[in-house]
Structure 1
Amino acid sequence: MGENGIETPVPMGAKPSGYRYVVLAMLVLAYTFNFLDRQILGILAKPIKDEFGLTDAQFGLMGGLAFALLYTTLAIPIAWLADRFSRVWIMTAALTLWSGFTALCGVVGSFGHLFMARMGVGIGEAGGVAPAYSLIADYFPKHQRARALAAYAFGIPLGTAAGTLVGGLLAVHYGWRTAFIAVGLLGVLLAPVFRLVMRDPPRGRADRAPGEPPIAPTPAAPLSQVVRLLAAKPSFWLLSLGAASSSVCGYGVAAWLPSFFMRSLGLTLAQTAWYYSGIAFLGGAVGIWMGGVMADRLGAKSKAGYPLTPAVAFLISVPCFLLAMNSGSLVGGQGGVLGGQASLALAFVIFLIPTGLNLTWLGPITAAVQHLAPAPMRTTASALFLLINNLLGIAVGLYYFGKVSDLLKPVFGAESLRWAIYTGMGFYLLAALLFFLASRRLDRDWVD
């Protein structure tokens, strides 16, 4: 340990070059648990709603606002600390905290207690992502960052699939409370392993070309300076609001699709666990990686390639998603309601396409945000980006679909959730527009 409790960074050459892939693997594992604990709520919606007598809107409020309120606001002061102290220690503490609160979700006695426990999960996860972005930027050079950040984002489909499958099967056999307790305790056990493996590199290490002298340490900038820098860059706002628009639909659909499969496809909880986990993992992993690879290649020619990659993906994904939700009509289904093994199989294949396309933004956009501020500001800049993205995406997304479903229930009955999801597709179109506008400003706001 160095002075003031700051971990002494690992100098260049202290670890072999392959160590950065070990770091990336550990960050992916931590992010997997991050999303596992976050997304497990979707597959457990029905048993939780049944026990506490909740409406769709109430469940959306608990799954969205309860988590996002402190998750987004606390991310800023935590990022301020991460720009000054050990990012590894901060992430270790965050992993322990969010996993512990996930386990506590399994012993609550009321809706209010569960709401508070989910707030606790959000407090822990506030320290889990922005420091990871900064670590990756210091381990991987500029021309590989979009791919590295895309690889990190594999934690999203892995965590979503694991949360859906493990949570659903545990709920079927042992109850929804056991599902929370089991996955939460696993995360607590991972935390000390994470701390032992991870090392904090010098900030800005990967920004220099081979053979250049080491970059002199630069003091972290005050929060007000980071805010002023980003506020003056239109591309930051366009990227952040574009990501937020996509996340309204992305987080909302991910949370509500299990309920849609049970209500409209007639699947059981166990069947939904297998069905949706396969879609989330296969579609998500391919889409995230392709987004990172394409952005690195296109971005080498023009920085506009970073936001244009997901913009095009969103435009393609919307009709694909609508087709997937109505694929039963292609095999003789009644009224567009999926039924039978043929329509289920067809829906599975088509759902893979928009699931992948809708996650292509993660590598390109997070990489672009890393280049809107110098190295000493990156963690705080990432946290400000995540504040906008998640406060709107998580808090609004989950509640929006639940509330619209409740409003449409008198008209559409059990199919109200289907129509609520239809209305949400407009957020993907808005995201595409905002990313297109960002592509026209990014080159002027870029920091090499």
Structure 2
Amino acid sequence: MDIHCIKPATSGVAAPAISRKYAWVVFALTFGLLLSDYMSRQVLNAVFPLLKQSWGLSDTQLGSLSGVVALMVGLLTFPLSVLADRWGRVRSLIVMAALWSLATLGCAIATNYGEMLVARAFVGLGEAAYGSVGIALILSIFPAHLRSTLTGAFMAGGAFGSVLGMALGGFVAVHFGWRASFAAMACFGIMLVIAYRLLVSDKRIAARYPDAQAAEQNAGGMRTSLRKLLAGLFSTVSVVCAYVGSGLQLFIMGAVIAWMPSFLNRYYGLPADKAAAGAAVFVLLGGVGMVACGIATDRICRKVPARKWVTAVAYCLISFVLLSIGFRLDAGALQLVLLGAGILVVAGTSGPAGAMVANLTPSTIHASAFATLTLANNLLGLAPGPLVTGAIADRIGLLGALQIIPLVSLAAMVAFAIGRSRYTRDLSRIDALRGQAAQQ
């Protein structure tokens, strides 16, 4: 079966006939598991000092316990997302969440560094494809005009979950010990897995989704050819621009968030704990901004979906101006306000970019498409951002590096602008190919 026989989720596709109430139940549970995902991942950071004291670990060993999760996620996001598209998204989500929850419980009962490292590797295995498969499921049961809102809100769950994991993990560790922190996160995840299993299933969603049977048949046709899968993921210039623009813009988000505690420590004289707390506020602002910008994008572009490219360009420009000016001001309230405003919109492109990826790829491979977007976000943005900023800081100082980093927004703007210029043409070509396939 040719990839062009698969109906792409363009902006003109009618919304699935699914109960809105049930759709929001699915969203709430899927979002709750995303919080559990990041809480289980980030709780480790809150107990670093206690682990170091308890087991006499080196900083390298502590770092490896965190890094092994990112390594597993980076290696396995795409292949596991492809498998989920074929095996069933709901079943895949339940298995993933159960795996990382049980692995987190394994961290609570680990007796040495080696056992903890293995348990953390399984946490990464469980979490690897959850984000891409989860958002693919969500977008399949909501109207197309809500895609920016839903994508922005879902991706923001990572920021909220990270803060909750560190805050609650630290509180529980202080009062009940570090093992209790891991156990609490595991129990939260297991309870959500049980609720998800009872309330959500592929069959229930298929019963409310009139195109489910055809989608399953189309997905079956995708199994035999990696070439056809890649053709669906990179079928147009505009979808490639969405991947690249999103990744480049998140370069700034990753850099600023990673170095904000050090910035507050060095230039505001805050002790490490207060600098970390201050940085957490900026992380929350970034998460709130993803949601707010996604909502604004959908409202502005409801009648003209192509405007989502324009909003993405606008978010890049606004964040560039605010952060560039903010990092050049003297330390003080005005600087913090401008930096906060810049971080509020810096990741606002997540919603528009996710919506465009969904519009420009077949619905049957949306998990794979969002895995590709996740890879772009990490390889172009979140991974190199902190590293490049640190390398520049070694030469000209942290403040100088942070003054330069916002320039990456200009490259993201160019990518989104090119995507906008090709978007209408690419959609027309996809629709033409779909029409030809329907006639055969």
Q: How would you bin the TM-score normalised by the shorter chain?
A: 0.7 to 0.9
Deviations 1:29-68 (A, max 9, x none): 122223334455677788889975648xx9988756x444
Alignment of 1:219-238 (within 5 A): 219-220=218-219, 221-222=222-223, 223-238=226-241
Alignment of 1:186-205 (within 5 A): 186-200=188-202
Q: 1:434 aligns with which of 415, 425, 429?
A: 415
C-alpha distance in structure 2 between counterparts of 1:433 and 1:100, whole Å? 44
Contact kept? 1:69, 1:391, Cα under 8 Å: no
Contact kept? 1:43, 1:255, Cα under 8 Å: no
Alignment of 1:217-256 (within 5 A): 217-220=216-219, 221-222=222-223, 223-256=226-259
Q: Return closer, same or farther for 1:83/1:283 CA change in 2, 3 Å cut-off.
A: closer
Q: Return closer, same or farther for 1:289/1:276 CA change in 2, 3 Å cut-off.
A: same
- The reply to whether residue 443 of structure 1 matches residue 414 of structure 2 is no
**Shift of residue 140 of structure 1?**
0.5
C-alpha distance in structure 2 between counterparts of 1:386 and 1:139, whole Å? 21
C-alpha distance in structure 2 between counterparts of 1:368 and 1:243, whole Å? 11
Contact kept? 2:152, 2:291, Cα under 8 Å: yes
- The reply to whether residue 379 of structure 1 matches residue 367 of structure 2 is yes
**Shift of residue 69 of structure 1?**
3.6
Alignment of 1:23-422 (within 5 A): 23-39=26-42, 54=59, 66-102=68-104, 119-167=121-169, 169=171, 179=181, 182-200=184-202, 217-220=216-219, 221-222=222-223, 223-285=226-288, 287-325=289-327, 329=330, 336=331, 343=332, 346=334, 348-405=336-393, 407-408=394-395, 412=397, 416=398, 418-422=399-403
User: Which structure dedicates a bigger proportion of its chain to helix?
Assistant: 2
Q: Return closer, same or farther for 1:216/1:105 CA change in 2, 3 Å cut-off.
A: closer
C-alpha distance in structure 2 between counterparts of 1:433 and 1:62, whole Å? 38
C-alpha distance in structure 2 between counterparts of 1:194 and 1:254, whole Å? 32
**Shift of residue 231 of structure 1?**
2.8
**Shift of residue 366 of structure 1?**
1.0
Partner of 2:269, secondary structure, is coil
Q: Return closer, same or farther for 1:261/1:24 CA change in 2, 3 Å cut-off.
A: same
Paired residues, number? 406
C-alpha distance in structure 2 between counterparts of 1:176 and 1:318, whole Å? 41
Contact kept? 1:150, 1:289, Cα under 8 Å: yes
Other-structure match for 2:406: 425
**Shift of residue 128 of structure 1?**
0.5
Contact kept? 2:78, 2:129, Cα under 8 Å: no
Partner of 1:23, secondary structure, is helix
**Shift of residue 21 of structure 1?**
0.8
Q: Return closer, same or farther for 1:135/1:263 CA change in 2, 3 Å cut-off.
A: same
C-alpha distance in structure 2 between counterparts of 1:443 and 1:61, whole Å? 46
Partner of 1:360, secondary structure, is coil
C-alpha distance in structure 1 between counterparts of 2:99 and 2:286, whole Å? 30
Deviations 1:65-111 (A, max 9, x none): x444431332222222222223122112222333444566675856x
Report the AA paired with residue 228 of structure 1.
Answer: A
**Shift of residue 168 of structure 1?**
5.0
Partner of 1:140, secondary structure, is coil
Identity of aligned residues (%): 29
Pick which of 296-305 and 149-158 moved more: 296-305
Contact kept? 1:288, 1:360, Cα under 8 Å: yes
C-alpha distance in structure 2 between counterparts of 1:183 and 1:268, whole Å? 28
Deviations 1:202-241 (A, max 9, x none): 5697697xxxx98574331134312023334112221112
The alignment's TM-score, normalised by the length of structure 2, stands at: 0.77
Other-structure match for 2:435: none
Q: Return closer, same or farther for 1:282/1:62 CA change in 2, 3 Å cut-off.
A: same
Deviations 1:316-370 (A, max 9, x none): 113323444565x2xxxxxx4xxxxxx3x55554333122201212221111111
Partner of 1:83, secondary structure, is helix
Specify every segment of 5 or more residues in structure 2 that has no aligned partner in the other structure, as ranges: 1-15, 432-440
Q: CA RMSD in A?
A: 3.8
Q: Return closer, same or farther for 1:69/1:317 CA change in 2, 3 Å cut-off.
A: same
Contact kept? 1:69, 1:395, Cα under 8 Å: no
Report the AA paired with residue 236 of structure 2.
Answer: K
Partner of 2:241, secondary structure, is helix
C-alpha distance in structure 2 between counterparts of 1:268 and 1:203, whole Å? 54
C-alpha distance in structure 2 between counterparts of 1:269 and 1:180, whole Å? 23
Other-structure match for 1:6: none
Report the AA paired with residue 140 of structure 1.
Answer: F
Contact kept? 1:28, 1:153, Cα under 8 Å: no
Contact kept? 1:165, 1:277, Cα under 8 Å: no
C-alpha distance in structure 1 between counterparts of 2:417 and 2:41, whole Å? 30
